[in-house]
Amino acid sequence: MILIKPEAKAFFLQGNNKSALLFIHGFTASPSELYPTARIFNDSYNCTVAAPLLPGHGTSPEEMNMTVWQDWFGAVEKELALLLETYDNIFVAGLSMGGMLALHAGVHIQGISGVVSINAPIYLKHPVLRLLAPLVARFCSYVPKKGAGHLECLKKEGRFAYDDIPIKAFLSMVELRDTLVKELDKVNTPLLLMQSRRDESVNRKSAAYIYKNVSSSQVRLLDLPESQHVATMGPEKELIAREIANFMDEN
């Protein structure tokens, strides 16, 4: 039996309107990193938010190395199917890898009213791991994350994430990235892109690349000047919640 860490569990915040937001967390993380923004969004705009825990997350790096991106997207598909049965307007948002899964959903799942992508990692700020990962995978299964001080601060604020990067799972995330790049021209749903100016993990040109290559006629790129990578726990979380609400109202 797989034991999920209590602080990593999925959450569901009920609203009183006919719209719902599926909020997808990032690689090696959990819904806990989305909760601060989701709580503001739900309280202020009375809209339902569902944040599932993706397979391999919230347990152990060993467990995550046994999953691939198709497993993660399968969980997104399942959650969306449930929401589509109940709500009239479904939007999908995601942070980091969750942003890539949200964009992929916008291509492959019918009935989505709009997509929000926050700091999707089309380009990494320090691409060394991506370049070396196939070689590293031959010798070890995990590598420790950098920026331990910042990550420890996020942990103290309630975020659950692994301290190590599972290499096999990382390589699968790279496959997701490459798949998404090839299909960006098929993204034609309304789209809100956000990119943190102080992102320590993702190169800022990622959002610009997505903006230039999607086919949607309704796409907006929002700069987050004060935020780091986990923007949903940062100083601009109120802004993020408000912009998502405005985006949903407009679409």
pLDDT tens figures, 89-109? 999 999 999 999 999 999 999
pLDDT at residue 131 in the model = 67
Task: Please state at what angle helix 35-45 crosses helix 237-250, rounded to 10 degrees.
Answer: 50
Q: Which two tokens stand for residue 137?
A: 């995978």
Q: Are 193 and 117 spatial neighbours (Cβ–Cβ below 8 Å)?
A: yes
Concatenating the DSSP letter of every residue in the chain gives -PPPPGGG--EEE--SSSEEEEEE--TT--GGGTHHHHHHHHHHH--EEEEPPPTT-SS-HHHHTT--HHHHHHHHHHHHHHHHHH-SEEEEEEETHHHHHHHHHHHH-TTEEEEEEES--SSBSSTHHHHHHHHHTTT-SEEEPS-HHHHHHHHHTT----SEEEHHHHHHHHHHHHHHHHHGGG--S-EEEEEETT-SSB-THHHHHHHHH---SSEEEEEETT--SSGGGSTTHHHHHHHHHHHHHH-
Q: Rounded mean pLDDT of 226-243?
A: 98
For residue 206, count other CB atoms closer than 10 A to its CB.
23
Residue 137 has pLDDT above 80, yes or no: no
Report the distance separating Cα 129 and Cα 124, nearest Å. Answer: 9
pTM over 0.85: yes
Report the distance separating Cα 154 and Cα 242, nearest Å. Answer: 22
pLDDT at residue 150 in the model = 85
Residue 128 has pLDDT above 70, yes or no: no
pLDDT at residue 132 in the model = 67
Alpha-carbon distance values, 242 to 46, 73, 169 (Å): 12, 27, 33
Domains and CATH numbers, the chain: 6-250 (3.40.50.1820)
Report the distance separating Cα 117 and Cα 166, nearest Å. Answer: 23
**Confidence band of 148 (pLDDT split at 50, 70, 90):** low
Report the distance separating Cα 251 and Cα 247, nearest Å. Answer: 6
Residue 135 has pLDDT above 80, yes or no: no
